[in-house]
Amino acid sequence: MAAFSHLCGRKDIIGLVEELKQRGFRTVLGGPQARQDYNGEPGIDSHPHRFRGLKSIVDVAFQGPVDGLKSEHLGMRSVLLEYPWTNNIFLEVDWSNIYTFSDTLKRLEVRLGQVLSAIGCPYAAKPQPVTLPPPIDLREKNVPELEVRSEGCIFCDVSRDKGYHGSVDRDRLMTQIIGLPEIDGRKIPFELIDEYPIGSLSKLLEETEKHAIKLSQINLVCRVDDINAHASDLAEILSLAQRQDVKIMFASIGFESFSNRLLRYFCKGITLADIVKCVETLRRLKDRFGSHFLYRRDEGANHGFIRPTPWDDSETLREIDRNIFLHRFFEDILPEHSTPLIIHHASYLGEWIREIESKTDITFSREGTWIEWWNPSSRSGEGNASEIPPAML
Ligand code: SF4
């Protein structure tokens, strides 16, 4: 049996599932978008180019937390099982039982862990309509502006898949931390999974100090609005961390763009002014807390910057470059490479693409579970097939 917890939209992994199935393995698919990736896109009959789903190569698709998966499920074929998310899911991890293999089985020495604090993302619970213009290449082709509904950031497939189901209670959070492996008498660095982690961080540090649990580093993947809302608390939190010799790292902050127009299309809920305020706070804290506070690219952080997008015109590109220069984002914030906008077929942007396809004779090609927004063609045969636009600096 081979079970997959995330396809990441990768065609090579889908190819591996297919190969294993052909060789007689029973195949199981769980993780984000298991339901949608199993079922495929709607409207296949009228739009045969759309993603048809993985029913032919997956025996059991499992949507939701693994708690609901029973051994008898694994003997089933051609089935989609669903189990609801709650904030009381199974959270025990045996970190000593993780192996990799090529020729031989090899135990993985885990150097970076994860601790789950929030189930899903609170921002994903925020419905918001947005009007999107057509992709820039289709401006001349009578493609209308369309109003799309999003919950959370419009490109986020996880927000649509999981939504938000509250926080894990304090005892269960501490149990996860206690269970982490140690190196040189300290817990390994871990990512605290919570898009709004700062409000509960001082309590977490107080508890680890009280129970004499020695941490090394907490990595945060969070939103700009959380940093701005707690700008005045961060100094106190970092003093606490410094006293325990714990590093706090803003490992990934979802800036995503330096253009207000694109931030609006992304439904990001922040503006350029919010980003500037956030970066000023980070720089101030760095001056004061030095090596106990990490947020820079050269310290290992990798912040979100989405480019290219379907809406990049020369004016927007100039605006973004001007802001990067003006606010010196290239010094510390800008990642090595941007990430092209990815449209998973089950995201809200996937709905936008299907709406364009329904209202015009334009179709977009599919690559595995992705929709290639950069690859439109009209049913009359006109097309401009191309590779994914390259990431940019
Ligand atoms: S991208 Fe991050 S902040 Fe936005 S909805 Fe997804 S998880 Fe939440």
Using CA of residue 107, residue 113, residue 118, residue 122, what is the dihedral sign? negative
CB atoms within 10 A of CB 326: 10
Regarding the beta carbon of 159 and ligand 1, being less than 6 Å apart is answered yes
> 187: closest CA among 210, 220, 215, 207?
215
Q: What is the pLDDT along the chain (393 residues), one digit of tens a residue?
A: 999 998 888 899 999 999 999 999 999 999 999 999 999 999 999 999 999 999 999 999 999 998 999 999 999 999 999 999 998 999 999 999 999 988 899 999 999 999 999 999 999 988 999 999 999 989 888 899 999 999 999 999 778 888 999 999 999 999 999 999 999 999 999 999 999 999 999 999 999 999 999 999 999 999 999 999 999 999 999 999 999 999 999 999 999 999 999 999 999 999 999 999 999 999 999 999 999 999 999 999 999 999 999 999 999 999 999 999 999 999 999 999 999 999 999 999 999 999 999 999 999 999 999 999 999 998 665 555 556 665 655
Instruction: Report whether residue 153 contacts ligand 1, using a CB cutoff of 6 Å.
Output: yes
Instruction: Give, using CA atoms, the residue closest to atom 7 of ligand 1.
Output: 121
> What would the two tokens of residue 53 be?
């789903």
Atom of ligand 1 lying closest to residue 221 CA: 2
CA-158 nearest atom, ligand 1: 6
CA 84 – CA 137 distance, rounded (Å): 41
HSE-CB at 344 with a 13 A cutoff on CA atoms is 21
Q: What is the pTM of this model?
A: 0.94
**Minimal-distance CA residue to ligand 1 atom 4:** 153
Q: Give the integer Cα–Cα distance in Å for 171 and 392.
A: 44
| 221 CB near ligand 1 (under 6 Å) | no
- Angle 63-222-338 (CA atoms, 0-180°, nearest 5)? 90
Question: For residue 248, which of 290, 196, 210 has the smallest C-alpha distance?
Answer: 290
